[in-house]
């Protein structure tokens, strides 16, 4: 079985590293977090709830 030359390993490492970094950057910057204001309004709605047992 022929062995790969070191330059091929280096190019593979560089390609996979760039792909990994781009994938992580896209995941980080494309996800829009929910604003905390919406959580505050949801909490205030629950405070007005009364149990009728």
Q: What percent of the chain has pLDDT over 90?
A: 36
0.85 surpassed by pTM:
no
The residue ranges of every structural domain in the chain are 6-47
**Which residue from 4, 21, 23 is spatially nearest to 12, judged by alpha carbons?**
4
First to last CA, the chain: 78
DSSP state of 32: -
Instruction: Determine what percent of the chain is predicted with pLDDT higher than 70.
Output: 64
Rounded to the nearest integer, the mean pLDDT of the chain is 78
């Amino acid at each position: 079985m022929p062995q790969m030359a070191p330059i091929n390993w280096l190019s593979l490492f560089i390609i996979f590293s760039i792909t990994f970094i781009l994938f992580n950057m896209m995941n980080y910057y494309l996800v829009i977090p929910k604003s905390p204001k919406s959580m505050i309004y949801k909490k205030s709605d629950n405070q007005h709830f009364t149990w009728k047992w």
